[in-house]
Structure 1
Amino acid sequence: MSLIAMDHADARRSGSFGSRGTRTFQAPAPTQTAPTTAPIERSMSPRTQTNNPAAMNQPAAANAQRPGGMFGGGFAGSMMRGLLIGGVIGLLLGHGFGGLAGMLGLILQIGLAMIVATLIMRWLANRQSRPAEASARSPQPATATGPQHSAYEYNGAGSSAPMGSGFASEAQVEQADLDRFEQMLNEVQSAYSREDYAALRSRTTPEVMSYMAEELGQNATSGVRNEVSDIKLLQGDVSETWREGDDQYATVAMRYESRDVMRDRTTNDVVSGDMDLTEATELWTFVRSRNSDWKLSAIQEV
């Protein structure tokens, strides 16, 4: 697996990872810079009904499929009703309940029939619940609202404003915040290239730091290091801004260019990548608590 990962030109990060609060498993609102975005693949956020809209409909679906009546619906219920009717007829004809005479035989047969019916109904219920669980795991696409605007003008919630004036939303993002996001693009990439754990730790959440540390460790084990240089932001859009308690979130799409190569740790030779400038587009989600600095909480590939 390490050899496969190192063979990719942009091997500094694998896939999409991190957390976006309650929106972790929802697709970000599309922008001009990032019309479509891959969902987060690795996250420590639990899948709940709050951050997984597909799960919201499961209780109603389960109630709709729940068998009714004394013995339930479907095949199991029909079978039990048939056994009961057949037993009564046999009793009237003088052959006992299902062929066994006496009250003891009646009680034993009813008990055995109920056990069998319960097992069958549980098996059928498990089969019916599997399609619902599978659909709940599928990411739900998000749709954009409001007009599209140029760099850093669209917040994915139908409101826009000129650069530097903030946004007409609960969680405002101002020009100073946008400038900080651009700085963090350079700082995080450069710190990752230097394998500067302290710098990464001060600019990322513990979750993102754990993923990056894992990848840096894999690079070291494979005898390579990732060198990223000449980073320049070309275009950026605000996808979403929102609040969760004391935390403020902002997801921004960034298209940037850089020189991204893998070098041998011993010889310093380029083993993958290209020294020419290449472009990449990613969505970075930043989070900050009240009176604290922004930190990188998720990266998603476009």
Structure 2
Amino acid sequence: MPKLRLIHVASILLILPTALGSVSLNPAEARSGGSFGSRGSRTFQAPAPTTTAPYTAPVKRSMTPNTVQPATPSQPSLAQPRPSFWSRFGGGLVGGLVGGLLFNGIFGMMFGHGFGGMGGGLSFIFQLLLIGGIVILAMRFFSRSNTAPTEARSFATPFGQQGFGAGAQAYSPPAATGIGASGATGADEIGTTDTDRSTFERILAAMQAAFTREDHQGLRRLTTPEMVSYLSEELADNATKGLKNEVSNLQFLNGEVAEAWREGMRDYATVAMHWSAIDVMRNRQTGAIEKGDPNNPVETTELWTFTREAGQPWLLSAIQETAN
């Protein structure tokens, strides 16, 4: 193979991946944590808003199968943009042009023809620049036509870790504390009682205490098996890092039943919980505080879902962090 042709082929192998890489590669989005647990058939639905928690995203991590079906071609999703003139006509035109240049020009040269005749190497450079210009124009057009607002997402963290690295949420405590009945947009289909709502407050305090003691038996008495697995995983992760979470001086500030419903023989109640507590991470060996403020409490708002079978006590089945 002539030396000039070898140089051309080597140049193509080096330049082509760079020229087209930005079009074909999508970086993976890594996420960790997230709200977790089960809300029965409503696991993947956003809970009803309340004054305590106006918006909360659906559960992100659950053992409950997601039965929500994606939209079919005959029933297009409202979130999908309509095909633009560019995608129907301009895209095909430019795609054909780029394909012709690539296969008749670059790859043709690799097999002994193409980029020949007038210009030689100059034609090769010109066609590469032309391809790059077309790709840039296409990307700019799509970025203007298909730009959509990105949904802000926030994810729950297990007990008491919300205050790390951030100040307390702005909040004016209500004149009276305690969990109220279902908010204006929610529906309490099972008729939760004052006894039920007092039980939800008690589980909040007992859960924080059990998590601080790393009491797995206590967690099993208060939560569903699925929640025990998530909380035990968090405790094991803390231990691996040489840390221990301590939550103390918990004060319940306010709460509302967002929604409550029945599925067969099982009841569910999703409750907006707002409380303050001292929340710190200690070094397991030295006892030194590595995260958190031991003197100033932080305020936290989360949605906790409780479930019970007929005649059985309430158990915690899901935790969701509210949007800031």
TM range (shorter): 0.5 to 0.7
Q: Does 1:189 align with 2:203?
A: no
Task: Give runs of aligned pairs for residues 1-302 of structure 1, distance below 5 A.
Answer: 14-48=33-67, 52=68, 55=69, 57-58=71-72, 60-61=74-75, 151-155=179-183, 169-275=188-294, 276-302=296-322
CA distance in 1 between counterparts of 2:61 and 2:199 reads 26
Which residue number corresponds to residue 146 of structure 1? none
> Does the Cα contact within 8 Å between 1:287 and 1:297 map onto a contact in 2?
yes
Which residue number corresponds to residue 126 of structure 1? none
TM-score by length of 1: 0.60
Question: Any stretches of 5+ residues in structure 2 without a counterpart?
Answer: 1-30, 77-150, 153-175
Going from structure 1 to structure 2, the CA distance change for 1:14 and 1:193 (only over 3 Å counts) comes to farther
CA distance in 1 between counterparts of 2:183 and 2:308 reads 17
Give 1:247 shift: 0.3
Aligned residues: 193
Equivalent residue letter for 2:254: Q
Give 1:158 shift: 5.5
Deviations 1:212-270 (A, max 9, x none): 00000001111000001111110101100000000000000011000110000010110
Which residue number corresponds to residue 157 of structure 2? none
CA distance in 2 between counterparts of 1:47 and 1:288 reads 21
CA distance in 2 between counterparts of 1:158 and 1:258 reads 28
Going from structure 1 to structure 2, the CA distance change for 1:277 and 1:34 (only over 3 Å counts) comes to same
The 3-state SS of whatever aligns with 2:251 is strand
Give 1:36 shift: 1.2
> Does the Cα contact within 8 Å between 1:261 and 1:273 map onto a contact in 2?
yes
> Does the Cα contact within 8 Å between 1:225 and 1:264 map onto a contact in 2?
yes
Deviations 1:255-288 (A, max 9, x none): 1000110000010110011111110000000000
Deviations 1:100-123 (A, max 9, x none): xxxxxxxxxxxxxxxxxxxxxxxx
Equivalent residue letter for 1:61: Q
Going from structure 1 to structure 2, the CA distance change for 1:158 and 1:287 (only over 3 Å counts) comes to closer
Question: Any stretches of 5+ residues in structure 1 without a counterpart?
Answer: 6-12, 63-137, 140-149, 160-168
CA distance in 1 between counterparts of 2:62 and 2:186 reads 28
> Does the Cα contact within 8 Å between 2:36 and 2:59 map onto a contact in 1?
yes
CA distance in 1 between counterparts of 2:57 and 2:283 reads 30
> Does the Cα contact within 8 Å between 1:284 and 1:299 map onto a contact in 2?
yes
The 3-state SS of whatever aligns with 1:232 is strand
> Does the Cα contact within 8 Å between 1:155 and 1:241 map onto a contact in 2?
no
> Does the Cα contact within 8 Å between 1:239 and 1:253 map onto a contact in 2?
yes
Equivalent residue letter for 1:183: R
The 3-state SS of whatever aligns with 2:75 is helix
Deviations 1:2-35 (A, max 9, x none): xxx9xxxxxxx94310010000000000001000
Give 1:154 shift: 2.0
> Does the Cα contact within 8 Å between 1:156 and 1:240 map onto a contact in 2?
no
Equivalent residue letter for 2:250: I
Instruction: State percent identity of aligned pairs.
Output: 49
> Does the Cα contact within 8 Å between 2:40 and 2:64 map onto a contact in 1?
yes
